[in-house]
Amino acid sequence: MRNILVTGGAGFIGSNFIRFLLAKEAPLNIYNLDLLTYAGSLENLKDLPEDGRHHFIQGDICDSDLVKNLMKEIDFDTVVHFAAESHVDRSIFNPGQFIQTNIVGTFNLLEAARTVWLAEPAVLNNKRFHHVSTDEVFGALQPGDPAFNENTPYSPRSPYSASKASSDHLVRAYYHTYHLPVTISNCTNNYGPYQFPEKLIPLMILNALEGKPLPVYGDGLQVRDWLYVEDHCEAIYRILQNGKIGQTYAIGGNNQPGNIEIIETICAILDQLQPDSIHVPHNKLIKYVTDRPGHDRRYAMNIDFIHQELGWSPAKDLKSGLYETVLWYLNHPDWVGAIRNRGDYAQWMQSNYTRR
């Protein structure tokens, strides 16, 4: 029986990963350590099979005693580390929390793994610490620049990406210094079910449904490389199964539209799915707002390496992924209601877009 510690498993990607893993593998125990910040919710886990394989622990990765005791108590063979503060806008207004969670929290997990796992070097062959990171650590590309890959030098430009870059460096340092069996993945923008509606795609879907303005930063021509969340889960799974210890894997969607194109596509899907809405055409709700400070212009990822090594490439194209995502939000009004009534959502959305 495998024991897997998933941190941040009540968030967007973590909850999708747990769902994916439970469907993929029968004999395993998943221990989901999540603080349930504004971004995490048990609502994201409600539809998991109730067969005793998922164990939720509410706790903070910054609490070093808690993390160490958990690692001592349960013989984990795998740690998959998602927990983070993940929203760039919030990092601009409250960077301190990003330093704590993303850097200190990752350090605590590494320290716990070091003290517990390295005490018995014989068992190390069966251990893995996988760190989930972002393409934003590489900085921004100009039009025509080659896409990022595993060897791109780090050049983070926001408190979020700087804190994730620091955590990547720590993970790599624990591999080189202590031979901790680590892998790292740097992934591009994810989208799909259960994404908190402060991020671009769910924000646009939900605002459009309510007839609220669709705020577009700057000229809307920022380019992101979009990946359907389930494809990200599959990539992580393959890294856990066959990835090389100490290796970093670049993961991306091979989809690089401008933000405005994404928003126009969502509007067109909603026009099709909700033809009787008084907001048709939904794109009349688009409203250009002052750009985010230091907004990175373009991200793109070269995924040749993970394709060659692990045979992974994205299965879902952007058009069908967006269609399914819009449909998911339309079909889950209870989830949307619960999420919107939580924490500081309304206040944050109001202040973030009116201060611009």
Name the residue with the smallest CB distance to ligand NAD. Answer: 11
Site string for ligand NAD, 126-145 (x = CB under 6 A): ------x-x-----------
Given the residues 135, 168, 198, 264, the one annotated as active site: 135
CB 262 within 8 A of CB 323: no
What is the nearest approach in angstroms of ligand NAD to the Cβ of residue 9? 7
Tell me if residue 135 is catalytic.
yes
**Residue 61 sits in the site that holds ligand NAD (CB under 6 A):** yes
Dihedral of CA atoms 338, 341, 342, 346 in degrees, nearest 10, equals 140
- 218 half-sphere exposure, CB direction, 13 A CA radius: 14
| Strand partners for 289 | 217
Query: Does position 215 bind ligand NAD by CB under 6 A?
Result: no
At 243 the three-state DSSP class reads: coil
Near ligand NAD in 5-34, by CB under 6 A: 7-8, 10-14, 33-34
Q: How far is the CB of 8 from ligand NAD (least distance, A)?
A: 3
Residue 31 or 285: the one with the smaller Cβ distance to ligand NAD is 31
- CB 186 → ligand NAD: shortest distance, Å? 7
Scanning 3-11, 150-158, 207-215, 326-334 for contacts with ligand NAD by CB under 6 A, the matching segment is: 3-11
In terms of phi and psi (left: phi > 0; alpha: psi -120 to 50; beta: otherwise), the region of 276 is alpha
Concatenate the DSSP letters of all residues of 94-158 into one string: -HHHHIIIIIIIHHHHHHHHHHHHTTSGGGGGG-EEEEEEEGGGG--PPTTPPPB-TTPPP---S
What is the distance between the alpha carbons of residues 324 and 312, in angstroms, rounded to a whole number?
21
CA within 13 Å, CB half, 100:
9
Q: How many residues bind ligand NAD (CB under 6 A)?
A: 30
Q: Does 40 bind ligand NAD (CB under 6 A)?
A: yes
Annotated active-site residue 136? The verdict is yes
CA angle in degrees (0–180, nearest 5) for 105-203-210: 145
End-to-end alpha-carbon separation of the chain, Å?
A: 52
Q: Which two tokens stand for residue 55?
A: 């164990």
Question: Rule CB under 6 A: is residue 39 a binding residue for ligand NAD?
Answer: yes
32 contacts 55 by C-beta, under 8 angstroms: yes
- Single residue of 70, 98, 105, 108 touching ligand NAD by CB under 6 A: 105
- Does 208 bind ligand NAD (CB under 6 A)? Our answer is no
Which residues are within 8 A (CB) of 34 and not within 5 positions of it... i.e. 6 or more apart? Answer: 7, 8, 9, 10, 11, 14, 40, 56, 57, 58, 59, 83
Q: Does 82 bind ligand NAD (CB under 6 A)?
A: yes
Provide, rounded to whole angstroms, the least separation between the CB of residue 202 and ligand NAD: 11
Looking at the Cβ atoms of 180 and 250, the one nearer to ligand NAD is: 250
Residue 43 binds to ligand NAD (criterion: CB under 6 A)? no
Interface with ligand NAD (CB under 6 A), residue from 36, 48, 286, 349? 36
Could you give the string, one character per residue 148-177, with x where binding to ligand NAD holds by CB under 6 A and - elsewhere? ----------------x-------------
216: three-class secondary structure by DSSP? strand
Q: Rule CB under 6 A: which of 271-330 touch ligand NAD?
A: none
CB of 38 to ligand NAD, least distance (A): 8
Active site residues: 135-136, 160
Q: Which residues are near ligand NAD by CB under 6 A?
A: 7-8, 10-14, 33-37, 39-40, 60-62, 82-84, 86, 101, 105, 132, 134, 164, 187, 189-190, 196
